[in-house]
Amino acid sequence: MPELPEVETIVRELRETAIGKKFWGLEGRVKSTFIPSFDVVKDQLLGLRILNVTRRGKFIVFELDRHMRLVIHLRMSGRLLWKKLYRKESHVRAVFVFSDATALYFCDARKFGRIWLAHKDEIDALTGMDRLGVEPLQDLDEDLFMKMLRGKRGILKNTLLRQDMIAGIGNIYADESCFRSGLHPQSRLEALRKEDKERLFEAIVHCLKEGIQHCGVSMTDFIGTRGELGKHQDYLKIYGRKDDPCYTCGTTIEKMVVAGRGTFVCPQCQKLRK
């Protein structure tokens, strides 16, 4: 699933190409993709102009005129591709057609992605964005991070993946943040020391910013709107490196299941607090 850096990459590209465009047509190949329904989305969307493109967690938010919001979540395998109209693409679920004969293709092999349209006062509740936690690169500082963890119990990685705590972190950046902070992902929150939390905060911010700098990770499905691969997979320190030597100490990297996810750990560099 695309995480915060991948979604941010898409949003930045869309700001360059989509702002000012007017919706002229909409094709829906998989009607269940649209909420509240394809017919409602099409009826209300056509004629609206894109004023801005923003991100909330892993959601892509198109700010439209008439105070409307179009929101897309790519889920596991969704892609947004900016193309000339009538170009062939595989797994097309929706095509947004603009008045200048360009089009935005929503492709989704696994059909989990969703598209919502609603007034700005209703969109957060409709999409679930009202339940998201803080934005780590905008609203989170070290003091707030310390307060969020104060009194919390549970496993570290489980907490990093909770979207109601910190919005946008997924499996890849949780593992990378744990490694950079020197903490085992199975560490207990209640056992973390103050210096552990300080390192963890720095690691989260660093790993997310670095992912954005390299335009995201393209290990499975992710590509940008221009069809270009991200480059951050070439800079990952721990994720996806099972049986490889740790870059820091040379110990063989292990893979285990934590929080129901494949998790990569250096048993030497990452301390288990329990």
pLDDT in tens, 16-56: 999 999 999 999 989 999 999 999 999 999 999 999 999 99
Go through 204-221 and write b for each residue having 16 or more CB atoms within 10 A of its CB, e for each that does not: bbebbebbbebbbbbeeb
Check residue 76 and report its DSSP letter: T
Catalytic residue among 111, 261, 271, 273: 261
Catalytic residue among 2, 5, 136, 185: 2
CA distance 17 to 12: 9
The whole-chain average pLDDT of the chain stands at 97
- Whether the model clears a pTM of 0.85, i.e. scores above it, the answer is yes
Give the pLDDT score at 162.
Answer: 98
Please give the backbone phi and psi of residue 197, each rounded to the nearest 5 degrees, phi first.
-65, -35
Residue in 235, 243, 245, 238 with CA at minimum distance from that of residue 264: 238
Segments in 2-135 forming alpha helices (H): 4-17, 38-45, 123-127
Give the pLDDT score at 1.
Answer: 85
Q: Where are the beta strands (DSSP E) in 7-101?
A: 23-28, 34-35, 50-56, 59-64, 68-73, 78-84, 92-98
3 counts as catalytic: yes
Give the pLDDT score at 123.
Answer: 99
111 counts as catalytic: no
Candidates 3.40.50.700, 1.10.287.70, 1.10.8.50, 1.10.287.3510; correct CATH number of 142-265?
A: 1.10.8.50
Catalytic residue among 21, 58, 69, 241: 58
Query: What percentage of the chain carries pLDDT values higher than 90?
Result: 95
153 counts as catalytic: no
Q: Cα–chain-centroid distance for residue 84?
A: 26
State the pLDDT confidence band at 150, using cuts at 50, 70 and 90. very high
Catalytic residue among 3, 8, 13, 176: 3
pLDDT digits (tens, 9 = 90+) for 216-259: 999 888 999 999 999 999 999 999 999 999 999 999 999 999 99
Give the pLDDT score at 87.
Answer: 72
Question: What fold, for 4-131?
Answer: N-terminal domain of MutM-like DNA repair proteins (3.20.190)
pLDDT, average across residues 188-215: 98
pLDDT digits (tens, 9 = 90+) for 62-112: 999 999 999 999 999 999 999 877 777 889 999 999 999 899 999 999 999
Cβ atoms of 158 and 260 within 8 Å: the answer is no
Q: Is 25 exposed, middle or buried (0-12, 13-18, 19+ CB in 10 A)?
A: middle
Q: Domain segments of the chain: what residues?
A: 4-131, 142-265
